[in-house]
Structure 1
Amino acid sequence: MRAIQITEFGGPEVLTVTELPDPAAGPGHLLIDVSRAGVNYADTHQAEDSYVSASTLPMVPGGEVVGTTTGGRRVVALVGTGGYAEKAVASEALAWDVPDAVDDVTALGMIVQGASAWLLLRRSVHLEPGESVVVHAAAGGVGSLAVQLAKARGAGRIIATASSANKRDLALDLGADVAVDANEPDLTAALIEANGGRRVDTVLEMTGGTVTDQSLRALAPFGRLAFYGMASRTEPSPVRPATLMAHSTTIAGMWLAHVFRLPGDVMRTALDDLFGLAVAGRLRVVAGGEYGLSEARRAHEDLRARRTTGKLVLDPSR
């Protein structure tokens, strides 16, 4: 089978198309003919071995696929690694059936980005109806869905940030009440102004560095910030407990892998909700671009350069 293999850690240049033996599915696993593989920012960290969990070589990157099992089921699955290939193996516990009305891009958009947005709003910041929420990188995979989910949950004011006018327009089209330039020199003041002069209740943040620092300073008393990535690869300033107490601030971290340690099948609950909203026309995955397997390097280059919006996918057939 054709696959992308990494034999040394680094940037997009280490993604190489190669021929590998077909994987075999053991007990409790499914062999999937991959119709599309998702491309996530986490994959760029995986390629350079800077992800939350360590990577080992050689490796086929890619953590999510949608396709058909040897038994004829159409599923979307988390695979950890091995997704950038014509065939992949997934644990039966990490594969979910996809409704006929849900296309491949939507299915892939929900399993990581959709579930992340769902968990951030419900579990991390506990968004209540009427509260304000700042969604950074609002035109991205998680951000574009978080804007829509926040609206569905009755957010009082949705403040989107994005780095270009086109991306800000997209966020407004998806339901944001106001869009702020992510490059504002005084982002704290810009966020407060966007909220009608009031400090904000909640923030979903994945940039790091000064964006995190300035977002924390924009929080109202009992405000909550959920941190789920560090696209800038720059650490924010250290936070002292006394600073948290001074404004009754809550900071949460979210890594999707931890959802599987929760009691009950929270992931199934999230996907049922997300797929239901999609079928009803209340939630849409923004298609960010489809690349052939041979174009995986370009996909990573575009993602790291912030040239993309929405969900990126690879087509293993080309």
Structure 2
Amino acid sequence: MRFARHGGPEVLSWDEVPVPQPGPGEVLVRVSAFAVNWADLLERAGRYPGAPAPPYVTGHDLTGVVEALGPGVSGPAVGTRVFGVIPRGGAAAEYVAAPAAQLYPVPETLSDAQAAGAAGPYLTADAAIVTMGRLAEGEDVLVHAAAGAYGSACVQLCRAYGAGRIIATAGSDAKTEQVRAWGADVAVNYTTTDFAEVVREVTGGRGVPLVLESVGGDVLGRSLECVSPGGRLVSVGASSGRSSSRFRLHTLFELGISVSGFTLGLWLEHHPELVRPSVERVLRLFAEGRAAPVVGRVFPAAEVAAAHEFLADRRSVGRTVVTMTPAP
């Protein structure tokens, strides 16, 4: 799946290209399914920093079966069902050659659709909560866009890791009900209610020790109002496509707030050893049934453009997935 120019979903096309050959440290994977995420939409539109110039094969999150090993690779073994995130892209294809270190065996508890979208949201959520956010047991947390892939992972992991009250935002009443079912104590429809006021009311005006933010723009700016003195805000993306104009340096040192950013792709490329603890924790939760990737909808390969539109319209609850396996 490639595009020759930037634009809307209409620029996407399936092209015939040679099957890649795995190089040193790589494995060849026959893709079963891949997820569509906000990075894919922004790359296609020409709004993602650092993305290569088109045409190139899109997609980052996938699941599939190992078909061949490249030089110097001892595993995962041929025939192993794997999942992972490919920072450089290429997941939206029948075959992809990817670094073996960026792929992990799929837990038996996950379907292909769940596995296709599991690594990105859950490894990012774990790092944001544990490594960057330093969540302590009993601490209150504000999770934005909680009905999405990353947000739903945050709600589940915060609950599993012993958070106090989980305050979650979502874009409709139906989504807030779903977020409560995943473990949120307070769910706010941000289209009708001021989430900052709710946080102040719930916490008695103090704010929360940890904010998990992925929207950017005004949401990021207003989230700084929700962090308690000495608290943390972790930003992992900007699905709004906008930065914030409401950042005051004084906010940091007057209240002792720490703000950090995290991008899973950078860690996978440059510090894979930092990702390993997240992998181990997340796989353990999947195996124990304490967390499960949420799939909003599965599209056939012929309808990738529709999958992009579905996600862009914010209709997805959880992950939007494309299957490469023909329907029976």
- State the TM-score, normalizing by the size of structure 1: 0.93
The residue aligned with 2:285 is 277
Trace 1:240-255 onto structure 2 (pairs within 5 A): 240-255=248-263
Check if 1:44 corresponds to 2:41: yes
The DSSP-based 3-state class of the residue aligned with 2:180 is helix
Which one of the candidate residues 26, 30, 35 is aligned to 2:27? 30
Say which is worse superposed, 269-278 or 190-199, in terms of deviation: 190-199
Aligned to 1:61: 58
Look up the equivalent residue of 2:80 and give its one-letter code: R
1:107 paired residue among 115, 123, 126: 115
Residue in 2 aligned with 1:73?
Answer: 80
CA contact (8 A) 1:86 1:317 kept: no
SS in 1 for 2:176: helix
Unaligned runs of 5+ in 2: 68-77
Specify whether residues 298 and 263 from structure 1 end up closer, same or farther in structure 2 by C-alpha distance, changes over 3 A only: closer
TM-superposed deviation, 1:240: 3.0
- In structure 1, distance between residues paired with 2:21 and 2:171: 43
Q: Percent identity?
A: 36
Amino acid at match of 2:51: A
Where does the alignment leave 5 or more consecutive residues of structure 1 unmatched? none
Q: Deviations over 1:196-247 (max 9, x none)?
A: 5441111111112221111111221112111111111222124232232121
Matched letter for residue 240 of structure 1: R
Matches of 1:89 and 1:207, distance apart in 2 = 31
**How far off its partner does 1:178 sit?**
0.7
C-alpha distance in 1 between matches for 2:225 and 2:89: 38
Amino acid in the other structure paired with 1:313: V
Q: TM-score, normalised by structure 2?
A: 0.90
Q: CA deviation at 1:96?
A: 1.6
Q: Residue 18 of structure 1 aligns to which amino acid in structure 2?
A: D
Residues 180 and 194, structure 1, Cα contact 8 Å, conserved in 2:
no
Aligned to 1:152: 160
Deviation of 1:135 after TM superposition, in Å, equals 0.4
Which residue of the other structure, out of 307, 313, 319, is the alignment partner of 1:305?
A: 313
Give the deviation of 1:184 after TM superposition: 4.2
- Summarize deviations over 1:235-289 as a string: whole Å, max 9, x none: 2124232232121111111111232367673323222221221121110111111
- Following superposition of structure 1 onto structure 2, how do residues 97-136 of structure 1 map, counting pairs within 5 Å? 97-136=105-144
Equivalent residue of 1:19, what SS?
A: coil
CA contact (8 A) 1:33 1:68 kept: yes
Q: Amino acid of the residue matched to residue 72 of structure 1?
A: G
1:185: how far off?
5.6
- Work out whether residues 226 and 254 of structure 1, in 8 Å CA contact, stay in contact via their aligned partners in 2: yes
What is the deviation of 1:75? 1.2
Post-superposition shift, 1:159?
0.2
- Is 1:315–2:323 an aligned residue pair? yes
Paired residue type of 1:157: R
After superposition, the CA RMSD in angstroms is 1.8
User: Cα offset for 1:78?
Assistant: 2.7
The question of whether the paired residues in 2 share the 8 Å contact of 1:180 and 1:191 is answered with: no
Distance 1:261 1:54 in 2: 15
Q: How does 1:281-300 map to 2 (within 5 A)?
A: 281-300=289-308
Q: CA deviation at 1:113?
A: 0.3
- Per the alignment, residue 177 of structure 1 pairs with 185
Which shows bigger deviation, 252-261 or 111-120? 252-261
Cα distance in 1 for partners of 2:194, 2:236 equals: 22
Distance across 1 between alignment mates of 2:191 and 2:203: 18
Q: Give the Å deviation of 1:108.
A: 2.8
Alignment partner for residue 18 of structure 1, among 10, 15, 18?
Answer: 15
2:43 aligned partner, one-letter code: Q
Q: CA deviation at 1:42?
A: 0.9
Equivalents in 2 of 1:296, 1:238: separation in Å?
Answer: 36
Question: Displacement of 1:82 after TM fit?
Answer: 1.4
Shift of 1:293: 1.5
Residue 218 of structure 2, aligned match among 187, 196, 210: 210
How much has 1:52 moved relative to structure 2?
3.3
Question: What is the CA–CA distance in structure 2 between the aligned matches of 1:203 and 1:256, rounded to whole Å?
Answer: 18
Deviation (angstroms), 1:77: 3.2
Q: Is the CA contact (8 Å cut-off) linking 2:125 and 2:157 kept in structure 1?
A: yes
Cα pair 1:136 1:162 within 8 Å, conserved: yes
Query: Could you tell me which of 226, 242, 246 is aligned with 2:234?
Result: 226
